[in-house]
A and B are shown apart, each in its own frame.
Chain A
């Protein structure tokens, strides 16, 4: 049986950071459902935050101010010690990336350039034009070649195997062969990314089904704050491809059909650079009031930046607009609308990325440490992946020697693999039933219509009923294409079960949380309520049903006050 000391699941930024920072004396491998360079991290555009103080307007920046902005941006739901840890580690992390070869853009004098981003008191977002995710992912992948990291590509993890609270390994589906393979591991690090494709409109890659989060939840890891779903203000109308916050950081305007920069009605000081939850709601409100175009979008106007700046700082955005919307932002405003973008919540882990399951760690978007609380600031997600990916690799390495041996681990893994196989066979034997892509589309519509930017009790309750109907229908799922090799249909069937779980947890958390905080806006409870709701939602699976409990938020420095921008 394949066996490793540390098995990292996911080959995006957090996964590669974990693998690269694991103890080189241990046997480490990365399992990824796509080639690592095809991971969604590659699509990150605008940048990564660290208080380097390189921008002339940011000389007084400190990591403490970065931490404060992160905590305020989170609407005070982030654990302050974790946010501080991330922001403190941000500075050496950027220099480390630079030393590894990340080609950051520079300021005169040769220092790393920094641009303003939403919700930040100083310009502290480091970037490589607007392809920051691409260059960091490629750089970490390059170093994993150097360090001869073992990769198992196009392997989809289908189960996390846990016994008596201890992690034993995973079961995978190998796309190339169509086989089910058990993999033993002393420690497992999940870096499996987000679940954007639970929604109809999302900036996320087609592959972002979030199944890793669902599988760990099934194996006993609680989900924390999953109702906090980030909607990015500016996705390209219709295709919902991300248009970076950097476009506003460079000075872009948001304009309604009256030609007005409407943010002055919502965030008069920060304007377009208010945090994402506020800007996304402002845009949606304008559209709903009939002040959008075609009832669906507003304009992101970059024309006043001039051709030179657009070509130098936002070449990728220009390319996206030309290729996918047949317009050049040098001459024409970009039609944009909000779309699901990021999950603040995720697998409950502590500041060492450790979960309550012994030997199981998580980092990146799939995890909730929590640093982002109820709303993440732009430029903090790449930061989280490199900082906490590294922490996860180091902490998993320390844990390996303590993990001991479970005598019948291989037996258990083999049984789980056989069980997985028999499920596949059951789906394959049926000649008719539900097709997964239809269920997937139904789920996306439910989540977008009823669990979107603006929420209320009626919609959320209906959504829960719809999800439970989908769960019934899923019991009749079948594989219509009988060949399992490179079967995306089978991948979708496996992942859909997790998507149902995530949808249910997001919705129940949102229904229960009777307040408005960060990205979670209840039209029937439009105020933040610190007395009753300054706490993390924790959801565990008990007898097949989500059970909600709560956990205290760690507040050590900054008392919650009203957010104003």
Chain B
């Protein structure tokens, strides 16, 4: 099968604007987009830059836009694209460092904002915490997140409002709030009771649509909103008494 790979190239140290470059690529084997990119780099242009690591959709390195879809390059089978032209672009809303490599720092900083670690006393319970499996499984949806950044890059709110923490960070916050072991006080997580936090979400569910691991971050945002309102009502009652 013959393909044309149309790849967005950009070296901000040398060029003013990104531009597409076409590469011909032929293969008879079953290859992922990532494997094809590696072949193109090796055989045609070794300056082509992109991130990768696990090649099995678990490390989150190779998020990019392939024929207009947010995806992990390792996990998209070339044949399944049903197109002989493959347009490859870096994740949008993040600055390009080189070609398909983008600056993920805003994404990581947003994650750090929510204090993404278990808040619990520093004592280790003897023989571990006691938690029923069904309770633990409630957070399994969110621990599947590999922090690839697809949702952040695709989110229309994150693209226009740099204060917005974005879907992955907020879903991660829900993962902790929902964890029976987590003891973060309401005052800690209610800091996201802002336009840059929970109320920034437009509920267009772009994040759910693009997530390659089916995490559905917007479910977490919605659930946190509900929990926030419930907690506020509880606080009102306490004060009223």
Contact = CB atoms under 8 A, between A and B. Distances in A.
Contacts of A143: 117
A143 to B, nearest CB: 5
B57 A323 contact: yes
Contacts of B124: 92, 95-96, 98-99
Interface in A123-175: 128-129, 131, 134-135, 138-139, 142-143, 145-146
A296 interface: no
Nearest to B214: A319
Given A105-B133, A106-B136, A138-B143, 6 more contacts: A101-B182, A110-B129, A110-B133, A207-B52, A483-B98, A485-B97
Contacts of A324: 56, 75
B54 to A, nearest CB: 4
Given A95-B128, A98-B129, A145-B116, A488 B49 contact: yes
Interface stretch (A35-43, A245-253, A368-376, A504-512): A35-43
Interface in B58-112: 58-61, 75, 97-99, 101, 104, 111-112
B132 A134 contact: no
Contact of A109 (B42, B60, B120, B130): B130
Nearest to B56: A241
Contacts of B127: 52, 95, 111
B59 A43 contact: yes
B236 interface: no
Interface residues of A, number: 64
Contacts of B41: 488-489
Given A42-B59, A101-B182, A142 B143 contact: no
Contact of B58 (A99, A134, A176, A479): A134
Contact of B128 (A34, A38, A94, A241): A94
A238 B32 CA distance: 12
A485 B49 contact: yes
A34 B61 contact: yes
27 contacts: A34-B61, A38-B51, A38-B53, A38-B60, A43-B54, A52-B128, A103-B136, A103-B140, A104-B136, A105-B133, A109-B130, A128-B143, A134-B58, A142-B116, A205-B55, A205-B59, A206-B52, A238-B30, A239-B55, A239-B56, A241-B56, A316-B58, A319-B57, A324-B56, A324-B75, A482-B47, A489-B46
A461 interface: no
B75 to A, nearest CB: 6
Nearest to B116: A142
A483 B47 contact: yes
B98 A99 contact: no
Interface in B137-188: 139-140, 143-144, 146-147, 176, 179, 181-182
B45 interface: yes
A485 B143 contact: no
Contacts of A437: 42
Given A95-B127, A103-B139, A435-B42, A38 B54 contact: yes
A99 B49 contact: no
Nearest to B48: A481
B115 interface: yes
A101 B120 contact: yes
Among B30, B101, B131: residue with most chain A CB under 10 A:
B131
Given A95-B124, A111-B130, A320 B56 contact: yes
A550 interface: no
Contacts of B14: 483
B117 A142 contact: yes
B97 A486 contact: yes
Contacts of A96: 124
A120 interface: no
Contact of B59 (A38, A100, A129): A38
Interface in B182-210: 182
Contacts of B49: 485-488
A481 B9 CA distance: 14
Interface residues of B, number: 58
Interface string A83-98: 0000000001011101
A99 B121 CA distance: 9
Contacts of A110: 129-133
Contacts of A40: 53-54, 59
B179 A103 contact: yes
Contacts of A112: 128
A420 interface: no
B56 A43 contact: yes
Contacts of B1: none
B17 interface: no
A311 to B, nearest CB: 11
Nearest to B182: A101
B118 interface: yes
Contacts of B139: 103
Contacts of B58: 42-43, 131, 134, 316
Contacts of A176: 97
Contacts of B240: none
B128 A101 contact: no
B125 A99 contact: yes
A108 B130 CA distance: 10
A95 B181 CA distance: 13
B57 to A, nearest CB: 6
Across the A-B interface, the 7 shortest Cβ-Cβ residue pairs: A101-B118, A481-B46, A110-B130, A481-B47, A486-B49, A142-B117, A489-B46
B45 to A, nearest CB: 6
B124 to A, nearest CB: 4
A480 interface: yes
A485 B179 contact: no
Contacts of B30: 238
B143 A205 contact: no
B22 interface: no
